[in-house]
Amino acid sequence: MVFVHGIRLSGGCWTQQIRLSHGRRAATPDLPGHGRRRGEAFSAAGAVDAIVEAIDEVGGHAVVVGHSLGGSIAIATAARNPDRVAAVVASGCTLVPNMWLRGIFRLGHGALSRLPDRGAGISANALRRSLPDEIAKPTIAAGIASEVIPEVMDAAADIDSIDDLGAYPGHVLFLNGGHDAFRLGERRFLAASRDGALQIVPGAGHYVPLTHGETFARAVRAVADRCDTATRNNT
């Protein structure tokens, strides 16, 4: 399995999911401009390349699990490399990033940039309050890459998840929090999928992989088990 983080975070946010993966081989890459790759330019193509490299690390064929930005990149990776992606679990990414949404992110970045620490303290405190230490500590230690927001928003204008879903023949599970505003387009995304399913986690918000880890992990394991069954049936 390959786990793909959201904007500003890093592969460190998946610590709990790795523990709950029941020993499956897994990778948690940092996207360009994030984590150990802070300072690198972000692009959609570069992000897809990072996921393909991670898939190769775990054997060349994987379930790709992505949250928020990571979900969009997971879908893009599957569309371009269907032979390497066994299935996709996409969380918190079923909303087309139109100019209004990108504008909101840019406004947030502008506000953070005016702070002496560029918002690092506020972001870290928010993570400590809302997430288990098992997730918050490694995520904070890896750094919160607020500076990458403008580049990600530029790249988001070129990501077309609806077209990408139509190009991918494999299974896609949309796993959204019931209170996540980013689920507003989920029916459109589901309709665009050739083999799609939708699961809602009641009471959860946008960060469902991090706040409802056990529930999220069970859904991911079910998708991985489904892929294992399909592989056995085809051999």
What's the CA gap between 96 and 117, in Å, rounded? 31
What value does the mean pLDDT of the chain take?
94
Sequence letter at residue 209: P
SS3 174: strand
Q: What is the model's pLDDT at position 235?
A: 67
SS3 17: helix
Task: Provide CB contacts within 8 A for 160, sequence distance 6+.
Answer: none
Beta-strand ranges (E) seen in the chain are 2-4, 62-67, 85-91, 171-177, 196-201
What's the CA gap between 51 and 31, in Å, rounded? 8
What's the CA gap between 54 and 56, in Å, rounded? 5
> Terminus-to-terminus CA distance in the chain, angstroms?
21
Q: What is the model's pLDDT at position 119?
A: 75
Sequence letter at residue 216: F
Least confident of 110-114, 146-150, 159-163: 110-114
Which of 20, 16, 13 is CA-nearest to residue 220?
A: 20
Strand partners, 172: 88, 196
List, for residues 25-78, the tens digit of each pLDDT value.
999 999 999 999 999 999 999 999 999 999 999 999 999 999 999 999 999 999
Domains along the chain with CATH numbers: 2-233 (3.40.50.1820)
Indicate if the pLDDT at residue 97 is higher than 90: no
> Residue 160 CB: number of other CB atoms within 10 A?
17
Report residue 26 as tokens: 């897994």
Q: What is the model's pLDDT at position 192?
A: 98
Report residue 177 as tokens: 């929090």
